Structure 1
Amino acid sequence: MSNPPFGFGPPDPDKRGDNDPSNPGQPGGAEAFNQLGQMLSQLGQMLSQAGSSSGPVNYDLAKQIALQNLSGRDDAKIGFTSETGGDSATAVRDAAHLAELWLDAATILPAGATSTVSWSARTWVEKTLPTWQRLCDPVAQQVSGAWMQALPEEAKQAAGPLLSMMGQMGGMAFGSQLGNALAQLAQEVLTSTEVGLPLGPAATSALLPANIEKFTEGLELPASEVLVFLAAREAAHQRLFAHVPWLRQRLLATVEEFAHGITVDTSALESLAGSIDPANPASIEEAMSSGLLEPQTTPEQQAALKRLETLLALVEGWVDVVVAEAIGDRLPGADALRETLRRRRATGGPAEQTFATLVGLELRPRRMRAASSLWKLVGDRHGLEKRDGLWSHPDLMPTAEDLDEPLDFADRLSEPAALDADLDPMAELERTEKAEREAREAKPDAEGGAGSDADSKGGETPTDEDPKDEGKKDEGNSPS
């Protein structure tokens, strides 16, 4: 795993304290004990000030750190204006309105956003934190649980209340790592769905004008074109997440499935213990950063990551194709923008890095481009209705193997029996249930009329028997 999940990253070498033995001029003796007391006092204050957040990640601390890192940022100074001379919020709404009009002709999915808003980096942190919590909790919970399971039983009993404090410190460590990552990501993301996940509130399109302005600086394109293009991508994502009810749950559930497979090698704990000198704090830091405790990826986790990668690629590929068809030649710089965003994803921007740190996943650009080619091929051959109808049920979606062979997938869609009967899975389910119900109702007639209670219930023995029948049964069963 190239990017270990939360809690397994090496510490920052620039953040060693003055008590690091590798630093010269270390005090010793009584002064060292005084400093130890001060450290414990500071630790107590830090635990009390970190908030009342419980669980594997201290989200109060994560939010506090992220907002502190963004405190010197002035998102009010942005350069976008609307066609009528309004502020950036008006410009964002105008761009979104135009993008929605164009998208109506490029997909059968209706508009999914009921509002379009302009966010600052700080607002992005606050609005997306609930979704990050759902993404991070399974990973952090499993990592924390693996540590506890790895401890011998006698060690757990001896530790006692210390384990609770260790849990708090672990939550703070995870929260600190998440907070720094969110602060970095908040300064780079352009829309609420750029990561490929529905991070923001449902039915809300959100763009970050300050980040978009920074992104536009080196493109040599009109700022208004960039804004409309990004508004179209955000609106397309929202249409997908709003009208494909299983998609959001499937994405988040796959992350949870990966997290549940995280384990810590207990033999690594023994190696770690042997390499630590209690009198030398630097040895602890070296041991923690050695990679001994990095969790191993199981075959089940690899399968979950492959499914998640494929689904994210299908989402991004569909948005890429739909936006390209919606814009057409309306924006002269659309092709250049499309390629720029593809390269932005391919170079592993902050969105990919943060997600890779979270679950060990890197969204390969080859998959995204392959998904884009597949959606384009299906649309050209079969039209928008069949292309977008595939989102009606997860079983109809292309697989990773289909991304390798898009022509075969398109050919299978040409078979009427294979596609037409399945495009509306709910209708098919209703037809099946109706046929079974009619078969049950017709069964008594087929066996000779209304018959007994057993016949009317499909041949099953009635549970509530008549007392007279019970007496006859006993009489008939009595010995002669």
Structure 2
Amino acid sequence: MSDLPFGFGPPDRDPERRDPNRGGNPAGDPFGLGALFGGMAGGGSPEDVLGKMPLFAELQKLMNWSGGPVNWDLARQGAISQLSAGHQPSSDGERAAAAEALRLADLWLDQVTELPSGIERTAAWSRVEWVEQTLPAWGALIDPLAERVVAAMTSALPQEAAMSFGPIAGIMGRMGGVMFGAQVGQALGKLAEEVLTSTDVGLPLAPAGTGVLVPQNLASFAEGLDRPADEVRLFVALREAASQRLFAHVPWLRQQLQDAVHAYARGITIDREAIEQGITEAMSGGMGGGLDPSDPESIQRLLSSGVLEPAETPEQQMALRRLETLLALVEGWVDVVVAAAAADRLPGHGALAETMRRRRASGGPAEQTFATLVGLQLRPRRLRDAATVWGAMAQQHGSDARDRLWSHPDLLPTSDDLDEPLDFVARQGLDDELAQLTADDARRDDDEDSVG
């Protein structure tokens, strides 16, 4: 996967496309320019003539995109093309197995949380279906980021260049849409080969009320685990069903996660003076051997040195902390309720949970997504701290008190609270005692008033 935020940078160059069925050009016109000038002589505009050439027609189609800062048609085509070689459609048997696993998972979860089921329908998606069905959710998340990157690039232009930019600005915006579309398509194709469910990236990506398993990826995940396939399927279904409950019945949660990403995006700037200074220092030998524009390795050293990366603002750092905390709290809650539901029913749940933790630590779909979107590195310790909060809350105050913390964002543990998770849990007990004392005082006052 690209190290840039979902590839918000120049895409890899595509191989030159050629039409194998097209004959050679006449000897006197080796580059085919006769057709171009002939068409123009006939009264057609350059756009009309170029539109009749396969390569330019395709480019013209891409450049005519007007659906936002990311060309999502191109992203879809790119992702599906990347997946075509290993594509396996889901079978009726796999759809039935997914439906049964999600149904049973919901029955088990009913006994460990008061949050009701969030699944109204089930699905077993192929990798291609995962791409197609999740595109609307990706658009809501990524479009504001891409839009801000384009705005930052435009604002970084020298004043004299900006004044002469004129109508070219629109063309550059469409070119950005093509570049972003190509890179996002590559990233989605990579994710589609790894995700197990519709919530595996930390966000609900399926249409509301849809519980999803990806059978082809489940089979790959189960290889080498030394557990029965139906047990692995049920464990993953428990995680999907738990996530669906949380996002369905905590209506502000999805928006808070998206807002944190977009808050980070609002701080994206390009400091032209700082970049120029970094390049000047590199050219003068400030990077070891100095910068040689003709040496690709020298340029790569400059790009990887970090001198061209904009510094994060305090607001961006705050947004990242909020995003990390929310993602950790979601993941920790899912870990705890799944463990409670599977404890006496699924023999291998402990080993499967450990496998899932190792998967996250080595860079699972959620880690990849937010690392490439906003550079967030999800710390395994943060996930453990969040799980400690939810587990201790259930043990000391009951599962109802645990789940009530989701009733308002202000009730959730903050990043500082996760530094000392047991202190946070202890304070919840003090709050309960204070609330009980206040209620007792109110009842006594009511009794005295009634006697008087």
With normalisation by structure 1, the TM-score equals 0.75
Deviation of the 1:97 alpha carbon = 1.1
Change (3 A) 1:360 1:411: same
Structure 1 residues 343-354: aligned runs within 5 Å: 343-354=358-369
Alignment-mate amino acid for residue 72 of structure 1: A
SS in 2 for 1:70: helix
One-letter identity of the residue aligned with 1:69: Q
1:295 and 2:310 aligned: yes
Per-residue deviation, residues 89-124 of structure 1 (Å, max 9, x unmatched): 111111111111110011010111111111111111
> Within the alignment, does 1:334 sit opposite 2:346 as a pair?
no
Aligned pair 1:69/2:75, yes or no?
no
- How much does 1:77 deviate? 7.0
Matched, 1:216 2:222: yes
| Residues 372 and 283 of structure 1: CA distance in aligned 2, closer, same or farther (over 3 Å) | closer
Shift of 1:237: 0.3
1:70-469 to structure 2, matched below 5 A, reads 70-76=83-89, 87-268=93-274, 270=276, 289=303, 293-416=308-431, 420=435
Q: Residues 417 and 335 from structure 1, CA distance in 2 versus in 1: closer, same or farther, beyond 3 angstroms?
A: closer
| Secondary structure of 1:245 counterpart | coil
RMSD: 3.4
| Distance in structure 2 (CA, Å) of the matches to 1:48 and 1:273 | 35
Distance in 2 (alpha carbons) for counterparts of 1:77 and 1:130: 22
- Report the Cα offset of residue 53 of structure 1: 4.0
Classify 1:76/1:147 alpha carbon distance in 2 versus 1 (closer, same or farther; 3 Å): closer
In 2, are the aligned partners of 1:318 and 1:375 still within 8 Å (CA)? yes
Q: 1:32 to 1:404 in 2, by over 3 A?
A: farther
Secondary structure at 1:414 match in 2: helix
Shift of 1:389: 0.6
**C-alpha distance in 1, partners of 2:89/2:11?**
35
Counterpart secondary structure, 2:398: helix
The whole-number CA distance in structure 2 between the counterparts of 1:137 and 1:273 is 30
Offset at residue 295 of structure 1 (A)? 3.1
- Once the two structures are superposed, residues 194-220 of structure 1 have per-residue CA deviations (whole angstroms, 9 ceiling, x without a partner) of 111111111111000110011101101
Alignment correspondent of 2:73:
60
Is contact 1:262-1:296 (8 Å) kept? no
Number of residues paired by the alignment?
Answer: 397
In structure 1, the residue matched to 2:445 is none
Contact 1:62–1:178 (CA under 8 A) maintained in structure 2: yes
Cα distance change on mapping 1:42 and 1:159 into 2, 3 Å: farther
Distance 1:337 1:7, change over 3 A: closer
Gaps of 5+ in 2: 18-28, 37-49, 284-292, 437-452
**What is the CA–CA distance in structure 1 between the aligned matches of 2:307 and 2:55, rounded to whole Å?**
27
Structure 1 unmatched ranges of 5 or more: 19-29, 79-85, 422-480
- Per-residue deviation at 1:44? 4.0
Code of the aligned partner of 1:382: H
For 2:82, give the aligned amino acid.
N
TM-fit CA distance, 1:418 = 7.2
Question: Which structure's CA Rg is the greater one?
Answer: 1
- Identity within the alignment, %: 54
Secondary structure of the corresponding residue to residue 297 of structure 1: coil
Inter-partner Cα distance in structure 1 for 2:366 and 2:422 = 31
1:380 is displaced (CA, Å) by 0.2
2:242 aligned counterpart, secondary structure: helix
What amino acid is aligned across from residue 57 of structure 1 in structure 2? V
Q: TM-score, normalised by structure 2?
A: 0.79
- Over 3 Å counting, the alpha-carbon distance change for 1:75 and 1:369 in structure 2 is same
Q: Show CA shifts across 1:253-277 (max 9, x none).
A: 111111001100111454599899x
